[in-house]
A and B are shown apart, each in its own frame.
Chain A
Amino acid sequence: MKKILVCDDEPHILESVAYVARRKGYDVLSAENGEEALTLVRQERPPLVLLDLNMPIKSGYQVCEEIRSDPRLKGIHIIMLTAKGQDSDRARGEAAGADEYITKPFSPRKLGQRMTEILGDP
């Protein structure tokens, strides 16, 4: 099964996104802070990472930058999920290396469709 890493310190957001991904048939890894997220990315090499910006220990920006700077983690698709919707925040996310930027509140149905578009069948 293809893996998705979901990173968010809000447990309900984490659970809802993980629920949608599992229902689609993907294997879901979860992290509640940036340090945990990086550990899992390095261990599991998931093809898709859903990354909240505001996380403890290391932010989503820092996690994204570290993933992009590691040649062993090439090819991982990163979607940032965040309540920050300003253009400057999006620009910063793009500068950090995110592939996409989704503002909360978001539709899990549409996020699920996007997972399928990126990963294909589980």
Chain B
Amino acid sequence: MNSFSQFLTFAVGVALGAVVVTGVAWHLKRREVKRLAQLTHDLRTPLSSIMAYAEILEDGVGEDERARFLGIIQEEAARMDTMMGGRASGSRQAGPRARERKIPSELGTVPGTPQHTVLVVDDDRFIVNALRRFLEQKGFRALVALDGEQALQRAREGRPDVILLDLLMPVMGGQETLRRLRADPSTSAIPVILTSGETVRASAQGAAETLMKPIQPEVLLAAVTRVIQEGVPR
């Protein structure tokens, strides 16, 4: 091959290499642009909540509402921080015992790959939705029920790995719901975490644990993970 042919071969090789590199870079940039566009879209909802409640507070509210709306603003700000890859530090510590609780990384902590299912039962739909969202963000699959009958049905059909059960519900309360769960062979082995605004003994109720409301996210995550691993109390 003469020197011109060699040069031509070399030039074509360089050109092809440049095309491939440019194509890969363009593809990666396009993926990044798409990811950023999705992130921008996703951030608008918590941002909208923050701006809405800030405006509502500015217009004046009662003291109870003021505290609650400020809490929502903090929660949504933490959510935005998490979306952007940060670790929001706004949640309160639950005390020395909480620090002993370790969260295994294999249990539902990878977004988009739900490995375990949690059934959330509460007659307050805002609580139900907030818990559902949090659990889904942590990689769990979340089922919801707004009353005891729905909870029994969802438990039979969905076979969750753990049930978060509000104690105080109208018509069929948490105690009766738990009794029926234990009486049904198809649901008796599902561990239950009771949630309540008052101090309750979990073992006396047949539950694995109790969580006091308002529920701290890290405490919830630790309890769900621990209960899934340990199962129904004997």
Contacts and interface: CB of A to CB of B under 8 A. Distances in A.
Contacts, number: 60
Interface in A55-106: 83-85, 103-106
A11 B129 contact: yes
B18 interface: no
Interface stretch (B26-34, B47-55, B92-100): B47-55
Interface of A: 9-13, 15-17, 19-20, 32, 83-85, 103-109
B146 to A, nearest CB: 11
A76 to B, nearest CB: 24
B56 A19 contact: yes
B110 to A, nearest CB: 22
A83 B51 contact: no
A16 B125 contact: no
Contacts of A13: 45, 48-49, 52
B52 A108 contact: yes
A64 B125 CA distance: 24
A104 B48 contact: yes
Given A16-B56, A19-B56, A83-B42, A105 B125 contact: no
8 contacts: A10-B45, A10-B129, A12-B72, A13-B48, A13-B49, A83-B42, A105-B51, A108-B56
Most chain B C-beta atoms within 10 Å of own C-beta, residue among A10, A16, A84: A16
Contacts of B230: none
B44 A16 contact: no
Nearest to A20: B56
A108 B55 contact: yes
B126 A15 contact: yes
Given A10-B49, A106-B52, 19 more contacts: A12-B72, A12-B75, A13-B49, A13-B52, A16-B52, A16-B53, A83-B41, A83-B42, A83-B44, A83-B45, A83-B48, A104-B44, A105-B47, A105-B50, A105-B51, A107-B51, A108-B55, A108-B56, A109-B59
Contacts of B56: 16, 19-20, 108
Given A83-B42, A83-B45, A9 B129 contact: yes
Interface string B113-136: 000000000000110011000000
Given A108-B56, A109-B55, A109-B59, A11 B125 contact: yes
A85 B72 CA distance: 25
A106 B48 contact: yes
A106 B51 CA distance: 8
Contacts of A16: 49, 52-53, 56
B55 A105 contact: no
Interface in B155-212: none
A104 B129 contact: no
A15 B69 CA distance: 10
Interface in B72-112: 72, 75-76
A106 B126 CA distance: 21
Nearest to B47: A105
